Structure formats: structure tokens, C-alpha cells
Structure 1
Amino acid sequence: MGRIRGTNVSKDSQIFVGFSGKDEALSLKLANRHGLIAGATGTGKTVSLQILAEGFSKAGVPVFCSDIKGDLSGLAAAGTSKDFLEKRAKDVGIDKTYGYEAVPTAFWDLLGEQGHPIRTTVSEIGPLLLARLLELNDTQEGVLNVLFELADDEGLLLLDLKDLRAMLTHVAERASELSTVYGNVSKSSIGAIQRRLLVLERQGGEHFFGEPALDIRDFIRTAPDGRGMVNILAADKLMTAPRLYAVFLLWLLSELFEELPEVGDPEKPKLVFFFDEAHLLFNGAPKALLEKVEQVVRLIRSKGVGVYFVTQNPLDIPETVLAQLGNRIQHALRAFTPRDQKAVRAAAETFRPNPDLDTERVITELGVGEALVSTLEGKGIPSIVQRTLIRPPCSQLGPVTQAERRTLIQSSPVFGLYERQRDRVSAYEVLMNRAEETQRMEQRQAEKDDKFAEKHGEPRRTRSGFQLPDFGRDDRPRRQSRQRRTQRRSQRDTAFEAGLKSAARSFGTSLGRALVRGLMGSLKRGN
């Protein structure tokens, strides 16, 4: 491998990471084998993420990353000369070619405040991830599955939270009927789900559900000069709702898995995905969900997507997922507590040993901007771990200003596609229309019954509500008319309900051909 200079990418299609006595680099061809950036707070994880994002972008690979502290927004601006940056460039051997440049960037925000809004529909996110978001128990999750099944069967679109609420009310009203078809539907469970929805709304969850829903292809863009677009999610406020943050990232990963075609092992990834604060994805997650996350991480590589977890402690990642992360940058860990010491040992044991390096000891001695680096090489074999000086970034250290951010948002190629929310006819409107139509029909029938009663001499109600006596009349016509009225109402209700169910079945059947749910329960489009 030749010397990799400040262009970030060499002739061998590798991203320069740093210098350990030799160049340490990440092979683009093996970058979809996933990776890990770990280390204690303040040891340099953000800069490592920043230089990898720069390198991928320079190679024409789009990137998605979440910006927890706001610092990653600096990718959108060129860096400025600083003594410590120039010194680091000289120490790693790129001082002759090192320069400062911005990266093509798009800003996104689930709350729609610091970037383009990101939305999905309730139907698309599916019952598994929604149950995780609402922290439902098994019984409540079962009721949610019944709700989604009924909505899919009857062609009722669940776009936003008001659709979900309307559907919960609808299921509660039909609980006894649905229990015989779909399984037990508990009204107490429905009440619990409704209470959870209120909590979700207070956390800003209503901004996430609706239309226009995100088109995943808008994350896979390149700039006019061929560099990959870096998509940055503003997550500083989102971190106050960690469950929403985690479920959003899992949904996004699921969307990529379901929507992207198989490409095998490409020369470079189609997209690289950084999961910051990765422990939030797994904390408290049920075993079934963990198994599906593991499966998606294992299989998404063939879609050309590289997944990189960023976390403080390697123990935050389940072993089954950690085993799939071949490219690793390990910053310093502190060994103050028994758990810390266990984490240090675990981190050291995951590297390919270096006979000249006491890995477990070095992890606790690394300075800021230093890391233990091991990347895949050859036929996917991890390189021997090396103590490495991480190269300095070419983009700005620290966040851009709000004015700069607004300018970048308004000049983005996707500006205007997601800014205005759309509310088309969905479950809420359909169910409200059904209720109103039923009420109108009952009112018309009541008027007919009153006219019939008056014509045949049945008791009538005055405005005060009292019945007028009907002296001297035979009671048989009244009983017969009541029987006829009851029979007509029964026939009318039966016909009306049958018509609704027939129409729903017809619509649901035709729509059902497109309603295919993927590995994590999210709706697959275009099937």
C-alpha cells in the first residue's frame, strides 16, 4: 500500500485513518463488513467518526450519522488552521498535502427544527418497533398486532397518531367480535396503549409519524463533484426521548435492508451508517428484537451498507452483533471499577494480538486522539492491532452556526420535499365517515318510523316527550308495526354492515397484495 496523503483516499481505495509507524487504513472494499468506534468520553470518538465520514464522502460513498452534541455539523464547513492540527498532520506524515475543506452535507431532524423533517407512517413502522417504542408488555403487544392485522385486512391506512387512536377506539368497540377471529382483545390493554401514546406525544413523537414519508433514496445521494452526501441527524433534543431515537435508527436500518437490492460485495459501500450512542439500541430490548437486529446487521452487508456502532463501552453491544464488527477503532477506556476492568479485558480480547503490544494495558494509557486500530485486510482477516495516531480532520472542529445551518438547509437538493406535512384520507377519516353515515341512516330511519307510527295510529311523542293517549284503539296494529320496524332496522343494519365489510374486504384484498411486512415488521413498499 502506498503512502496515503491528505486527499483521504489512496490509489488502492483506502481511507487513511492514522499512523502507527506505518499507515493504518480502512479498505473501501471491506468497509461493508461493519465496524466499531469505542472509547470513554473525551478520548476522540467524534473526531474518528468525522475523519471516516470525510474519507467515505471523498470516495463517493454517502454517509448517515447522528449528531448527539452538535459537533458533527462542522463537517459542513472547512476547518481553520490551528497549531495542534498542523502538528498532528506532520506527526502522521501528511503535512505536505494536508488542507481544509467542507464536506457536502444535508441536515435532518425528526422534530423539523434543525434540518429537513423525517417522517414515516404508523403502517410502515409496523407493530414490532412500535411496541418497542411504547414499551408494551407481551399482552399489549398482542393487541397491537391484532390492530395492525385488522387495519391491513380492511385496507385502513395508519399514517399518523390520530389514525392509531381512532383504530384503537374501533378495536375496543369490536373487541368481542375480533376476539373470536384474531384472538383475545383486552380493553384494559387498549387503555394502556392509549396512555403510552400520550407519553409519546409529550416526547415529540407526533412529529415522526405522518406524510410525506422519508424516501430512503434521499439518503443515497452524491454531490455534483461526485463526493458522497453526508446526512447528519440533529439528535441533541432527540436524546431526551432515547426510546424514540433508538426505534428511529432501527426503523431506518430496517428500511435500508428491505428497500435496497442485493449487490454482494461491491468495490465500495452504497451507504455507510453510523449508530452513535449505540447502547440505546439494545438497552431493555426484548430478545426477539435483538435477534432481528442481529439478523439485519448480518444480512445488510450484501445490500452494500456498512454499519458502524459508536459507543463508550464495547460491552454495550451484544456479543452476537459485536462479533460481526470487523473494522475497529478503540480509544482509551478507564479501569476504575470492576465493570470498567471487564470492559478493558473484553476490548483487548477482541483484537488480533500484537506480540509487541500489551493491548489491555495500552487501552488505559491512550492519549486524546490516539486509538488502537485494527481493520480488515486481504480476504477479510483483521490486521494486527496497532497503537495509532489518528489523522486530523479537514473539516471544522465544532458546530456550525445556526445561520450557516439554515443556509445549508435551504440550499439542499431535498429542500421543499419534506417541509410541508400532508394529511390524506386514512383510517381516522374512514372510521369517522362510517360513524357519521351510520348516524345519518339511523336518523332517516327514525323519521320514517315516526311517519309510519303516525299513519297507523301508534303513540306519538309530544315536544315535551310525553306520549299522547290513544283511547279506544286496538293494540294489535301497534305491536305489528313495532315488529315490522324492528325487522326493517335489523335488515337495514345487516345490509349496511355487510356492505361495509364487503367493501373493506375487497379494498383490503387488493391492497393486501402490497402489504408485505419485512424482517422487523416494517411495511415493504412496492411489492
Structure 2
Amino acid sequence: MDTGIFIGGGGEDYGTAQHMLLKYANRHGLIAGATGTGKTVTLQILAEGFSAAGVPVFLSDVKGDLAGLAQAGSETGKLHGAFTARAATIGLSDFGYRACPVTFWDLFGQKGHPVRTTVSEMGPLLLSRLLDLSEAQEGVLNIAFRVADEEGMALLDLKDLQALLTFVGQARADLGLRYGNIAPASIGAIQRRLLVLEGQGADRLFGEPALDLADLFLTDATGAGRINILAADKLMGSPRLYATFLLWLLSELFEELPEVGDPDKPKLVFFFDEAHLLFDDAPKALVDKVEQVARLIRSKGVGVYFVTQNPSDVPETILGQLGNRVQHALRAYTAKDRTDLKQAARNYRDNPRLDIETAIREVGTGEAVTSMLEAKGIPGMAERTLIRPPSSHLGPIADATRAALIGLSPLAGKYDAVIDRESAFEILQARAAQAAREAAEAEQAMTAQAPEPAREFTSARRYSGTRVMSAPATPASRARSSSSSSRSDSVGEAFAKSFARQLGTQSGRAIVRGVLGGLFRSR
């Protein structure tokens, strides 16, 4: 019989040994508790157990402590003998120290392999969440994505999106007839948010080569699942970026993986640390998306475990889907704390031998109230449990050790070099340049064929920095001038002027007509 992952056990005043059955590990879970009560160690021992069972893991290392999974543990200093004693107390007879196979990742490319996605893959919903856009601004962003799709322009990095938004702003009159009002203020607000995002270093998240999801499912030569550790200590300085990236990754897994039903063990386990950041001020559409993923992704063999301080940080609709639970201590210092404590206790199956509310309040560091799914997926009774000690190193590792492990990784070098292939920025740049050349050639031909006074008049218009006298205006000439001005203020020309100035490909002196000619005509 498969006993699964050993979580902890008894001893005097404690319940029976607790195991997480691998067959039900994809039914998701919760690790909760106040700061300093042992959540990180619980996450660590679960990651070790999944890895040993051949299940790859993805987790974020918020404080740098979880890098210790890559190094065998030991009992030195104040820990001398403590882990061995705990193992004996809970009946863990085969306890020993060992390292786990680890792959390090880092959005900033400093403490692990660079991890990237493209703007297109992120999509307008998550990007709007990342940029904290209003409903109207999100609508404009959706229009920009639609235009990119219709024009066959890939959105890979931030400069692609910035160039596309410039076009949408210039073409807003024509696009507005098809998609609705496009306010220049909304375009400007999105561009400003993109500049802020770029200033935070988030531009490194977008680009190619993008993350290949298959690289998260690797095992080592012995069959142990590799533990993918995302360095998040610096990333936590931008909490919205952190939460949005993890949600994007979870959504990609949901979209890409095939249905597998109820496997004997998960294909991947995903730990979402600091889960409250995902739901703080989140719009309903985003919460609905998380609920959908949590409800359906288990049938694709992925288990999701939310790690947070208080169960109330997770919406009820999602909390009700988390079958395996480890509740560390909650402190009841205020009226709200006492209400949260009562609510947390009600989330467990009653145990006649245990006052759950009192137990949650009184368990010490390294202890928890646990409830694991039993046969047929039935929630187990709440038990007061001594959590097992980790086999890997407890705490961070040296930078030299990390660098050596990154160099020995099976993914070494795969994501290091940035690829900048043709995408929206290059396409729009080329079209603007081509239109500028064609317009200049056409105007030169017209000037060469025009009578001398008209040639002089044209020169006066072309070279705005030079004063050239022209013939007095007549009613007929004013009419012609008005008609010409109307044509030269077309959407395509206005964009060409602006875009050419921004990119430096043409001087602002050329009057450009017909740029991006394929946009509003059949291609």
C-alpha cells in the first residue's frame, strides 16, 4: 500500500501519523500560519517528499531559505541533535540527510536561469492586472491585442507593445469605428505604466526564448523529480509582478497540459507562497480565473498548494477546493484575530479527542493541526501533529554553491542569450520607413513636374524651418490647400510622422502618406 509522503506524527498528546496520499495530492492543499510558526519548513518537507516520489515541484523562494533544498542537511550549532530527536519521537526510522535535484530560476537572471514569457502569452487580462489598469484602459489594451492579431504582428517584448499602442493612438479614429472609443488619455496612462514596469526591471520578463513548460517536468538520473526554485526575494519588491507571473504560469499549465483524470501521483506540484498577494484588491474576473484553474487543473495532474498566513486570505470558493491542510499556529490578539481563528477551526473535520480552535492557538513552532485526504478522497479528522524534520539543508546556501549548481544544470545556457526576432516593433518600423520613402519619391516627382511658382510653394510647405515667399492665396488655392491638408492628416500619415520621429528613421520634414497601407485595406 502506498503510504504517500510522511508529514509528521505523534508522541504524547499528539494524534496518529499523518501521510499525504500521492493519489490525492493533486486535490490541492493549504499551508497556513502566522509568521515564524514553521510554514517554510513544512513546504520544504513536502517538496522533498514529492521529489523523492518522482514528482517535479515548482515553488518560489521568498526569503532565500528554500535554496537549502539543493544541499544535504546537518545538525550543527543550536540544532545539534534536535532533528534526530524529533525523528525518533514521531517514529521516523529511516531519517537521513540528503540533497534534492534543484533547478534555479530568476526573472532577473541573477540567481538562476532567466525565465521569460511574451506579451502575447501573458494576454490582456493578466497584463491589465499587472499594470493596475482601469476598466476603460483594459478595454483599450484589448483593442491593441486584437489589432496585433488581425495584422499578424507578434507581441514579444515591451517595445512591441509600446509601438503598437502608439499606432492605436494615432489610428484611434478609424479603429474607434470598429471597436469603440479609444481615449488618448487611456493610451497615455498605459504607456506611463509600462515605463514604470520597465523601470522596475520587469522588461526582462518579456521576450524570447520564452519558458518551455516541459523544462519544469524534468527528473534526474535516479528518477527523482527536480525542484524548480524561483528566486523571489528581489521579485517581492514588486508584489503585483510576483503574483501576476505565478498566476500566468499556472494558467499556462492549465491551458497546455492534457487531461489525465486521476493519476496515481501528480505530474507536477505547484506551491504558491504569499498567496494573499494574488487576491489583494483583485477584480472579480481575476478571482474567477483562479477559481476555474483551481477547480479544473487537478484533472491535468497538477496539485496547487497555497501558502499564506491566514486561511481567510483565500476566497471561500477556492478554499473549499483545498483538500490537504496544514494549519500552523494562529495568534488571537484582536477581535478580528479571534474571528479568523474560529473560522479556521470550522474548516476542519471534527475530532472528538481534540478542541481544534484551542489546538490552532496553542501549537508551537514545528507543530500544526493537519488534515489529509484519506481513501476515496474523504477529509481526515483534524490531528495535532509534530512536523517531521527536513532532510535537506535548513536555510540559504552560499552564492558559489548556487552558481556551481546553475552551471551543472541540464538547462545551462538554454535561456541565457536573448533572441529578438521580427515582431510588432520591427514590422511597424519597416512600414513607416517604406511609406516615408514612397511619399518622398511621389512628392519629388510631383515637384519636378509642377510649374515654377507651384514648386516654390511646395518647398515652402516641405521645409518648415525655412521662410520662402509664396504666391498670394486665392479662394481656389485655399480650397485646394484645405483638401490637401485633409488628405495629409489621414490616420496613416499622422502615425507615420509620429512613429518615424520616435524611431529616428525619417526626419519630421517629410510628409508621409499611406503608411501601414495594409491595415484598413485588403491585404
Q: Give your verdict on TM over 0.5.
A: yes
The answer for the alignment partner of 1:3 in structure 2 is none
The answer for the alignment partner of 2:86 in structure 1 is 88
- Aligned-pair identity (%): 57
SS in 1 for 2:307: strand
2:164–2:425 contact (8 Å) kept in structure 1: yes
The answer for the alignment partner of 1:298 in structure 2 is 295
1:398 partnered with 2:395: yes
1:24 partnered with 2:18: yes
Matches within 5 A, 1:93-242: 93-94=91-92, 96-242=93-239
SS in 2 for 1:107: strand
2:432–2:516 contact (8 Å) kept in structure 1: no
- Give RMSD over aligned pairs: 2.8
Matches within 5 A, 1:324-473: 324-454=321-451, 459=456, 466-467=468-469
CA shift in 2, pair 1:440/1:357, >3 Å: same
The answer for the alignment partner of 2:499 in structure 1 is none
CA shift in 2, pair 1:16/1:440, >3 Å: same
The answer for the alignment partner of 1:70 in structure 2 is 64
The answer for the alignment partner of 2:279 in structure 1 is 282
2:436–2:515 contact (8 Å) kept in structure 1: no
The answer for the alignment partner of 1:5 in structure 2 is none
Q: CA deviation at 1:459?
A: 4.5
Q: Which amino acid aligns with 1:500?
A: G
Greater CA drift, 154-163 or 314-323: 154-163
The answer for the alignment partner of 2:507 in structure 1 is none
Provide the C-alpha distance between the structure 2 equivalents of 1:157 and 1:487, rounded to a whole number of angstroms. Answer: 32
Q: CA deviation at 1:281?
A: 0.4
SS in 1 for 2:395: coil
2:16–2:383 contact (8 Å) kept in structure 1: no
1:57 partnered with 2:51: yes
Greater CA drift, 17-26 or 38-47: 17-26
Q: CA deviation at 1:227?
A: 0.2
2:153–2:424 contact (8 Å) kept in structure 1: yes
Where does structure 1 differ by over 6 angstroms across 4 or more consecutive aligned residues? 481-495
TM-score by length of 1: 0.88
The answer for the alignment partner of 1:12 in structure 2 is 2
2:266–2:302 contact (8 Å) kept in structure 1: yes
State the number of aligned residues: 490
Q: Alignment partner for residue 43 of structure 1, among 28, 37, 40? A: 37
SS in 1 for 2:333: coil
Provide the C-alpha distance between the structure 2 equivalents of 1:396 and 1:421, rounded to a whole number of angstroms. Answer: 34
Q: Which amino acid aligns with 1:501?
A: L
Gaps of 5+ in 1: 1-10, 507-527
Q: Which amino acid aligns with 2:84?
A: E
Provide the C-alpha distance between the structure 2 equivalents of 1:360 and 1:70, rounded to a whole number of angstroms. Answer: 32
Provide the C-alpha distance between the structure 1 equivalents of 2:455 and 2:173, rounded to a whole number of angstroms. Answer: 37
Q: Which amino acid aligns with 2:34?
A: A
SS in 2 for 1:127: helix
SS in 1 for 2:191: helix
Q: CA deviation at 1:335?
A: 0.4
Provide the C-alpha distance between the structure 1 equivalents of 2:486 and 2:232, rounded to a whole number of angstroms. Answer: 61
CA shift in 2, pair 1:223/1:445, >3 Å: same
1:251 partnered with 2:248: yes
Provide the C-alpha distance between the structure 1 equivalents of 2:325 and 2:443, rounded to a whole number of angstroms. Answer: 74
Provide the C-alpha distance between the structure 2 equivalents of 1:168 and 1:363, rounded to a whole number of angstroms. Answer: 52
CA shift in 2, pair 1:456/1:208, >3 Å: same
SS in 2 for 1:32: helix
Q: Which amino acid aligns with 1:12?
A: D
The answer for the alignment partner of 1:264 in structure 2 is 261
Provide the C-alpha distance between the structure 2 equivalents of 1:288 and 1:467, rounded to a whole number of angstroms. Answer: 62
Provide the C-alpha distance between the structure 1 equivalents of 2:397 and 2:339, rounded to a whole number of angstroms. Answer: 38
Cα shift readout 1:421-452 (whole Å, capped 9, x = no counterpart): 11111111111111111111111112111210
Q: Which amino acid aligns with 1:167?
A: L
Cα shift readout 1:474-512 (whole Å, capped 9, x = no counterpart): x9xx99x99999999999999956852378x65xxxxxx
Gaps of 5+ in 2: 494-511
Provide the C-alpha distance between the structure 2 equivalents of 1:411 and 1:440, rounded to a whole number of angstroms. Answer: 52
The answer for the alignment partner of 2:506 in structure 1 is none
Provide the C-alpha distance between the structure 1 equivalents of 2:19 and 2:454, rounded to a whole number of angstroms. Answer: 96
Q: Which amino acid aligns with 1:447?
A: Q
Provide the C-alpha distance between the structure 2 equivalents of 1:79 and 1:396, rounded to a whole number of angstroms. Answer: 4
1:449–1:485 contact (8 Å) kept in structure 2: no
CA shift in 2, pair 1:484/1:37, >3 Å: closer
CA shift in 2, pair 1:308/1:483, >3 Å: closer
SS in 1 for 2:376: coil
Cα shift readout 1:276-306 (whole Å, capped 9, x = no counterpart): 0000000000011101110110000000000
Provide the C-alpha distance between the structure 1 equivalents of 2:101 and 2:267, rounded to a whole number of angstroms. Answer: 16
Q: CA deviation at 1:354?
A: 0.4
Cα shift readout 1:72-113 (whole Å, capped 9, x = no counterpart): 00000000133111111111112x421100000000011111
Cα shift readout 1:115-174 (whole Å, capped 9, x = no counterpart): 111110111100000000000111111111111111111111111111111111100000
Provide the C-alpha distance between the structure 2 equivalents of 1:41 and 1:97, rounded to a whole number of angstroms. Answer: 30
Provide the C-alpha distance between the structure 2 equivalents of 1:483 and 1:293, rounded to a whole number of angstroms. Answer: 55
Matches within 5 A, 1:476-487: none
Q: Which amino acid aligns with 2:58?
A: F
CA shift in 2, pair 1:439/1:80, >3 Å: same
Greater CA drift, 198-207 or 290-299: 198-207
CA shift in 2, pair 1:111/1:498, >3 Å: closer
1:352–1:382 contact (8 Å) kept in structure 2: yes
Q: Which amino acid aligns with 2:81?
A: D
1:453–1:459 contact (8 Å) kept in structure 2: no
Greater CA drift, 96-105 or 461-470: 461-470
Q: CA deviation at 1:456?
A: 9.7
Q: Which amino acid aligns with 1:85?
A: F
SS in 2 for 1:233: strand
